[in-house]
Amino acid sequence: MKRTLFALLFLALTALLVVDRVAAQEPTPLPVTDDQVNAIAKQLYCPVCENVPLDVCGTQACAQWRELIREQLSQGWTEEEIKQYFAEQYGDRVLAEPPRRGLNWLVYIVPPAAFLAGAYLLFRGIRSWRQLEPQGEPLPDEAIDDDYLQRLEEELRRRGD
């Protein structure tokens, strides 16, 4: 009886230890896909190459930075945290979309303002051109001085009839 009780107690303690170890283990993270990495890398520019997005850059440094993004995603970092990390490490020039602060606001304001100003000037120009067009009144025959033009007008009248 003592042996049975001792065996049950040993099994219970072993089960508790196994359950405790399983509970203490961190859940295995889901594998990060290339699409997830490239979605973030597309929003970053290579700090080494000029104007090359990180997702298409073929340098070894960019491959390492994409792996860093993969590791950060597997550790639970958000997209904004990863972009902030790269901006702190390499400056705002690595961001595809400049932050909306300081003089960077001009990037968001000037193009639409220039487009609207151009559309307004085009509208005004077309409107003024229409006002300058002749009213379509035919010139009297006496106003035509050139013999060639007179013959041309007569020929056109004959063909029109």
- pLDDT category of residue 144 using cuts at 50, 70 and 90: low
Average pLDDT on 91-95 reads 83
| Pairwise pLDDT comparison (22 vs 56), residue with the higher score | 56
Would you say residue 28 has pLDDT above 60?
no
Provide CATH code, domain 34-102. 1.10.8.640
d(CA 19, CA 24) in angstroms, rounded, equals 8
Would you say residue 150 has pLDDT above 70?
yes
Average pLDDT on 93-114 reads 79
State the alpha helices, DSSP H only, in the chain.
2-24, 34-41, 60-74, 79-90, 105-132, 147-160
Report pLDDT for 49: 80
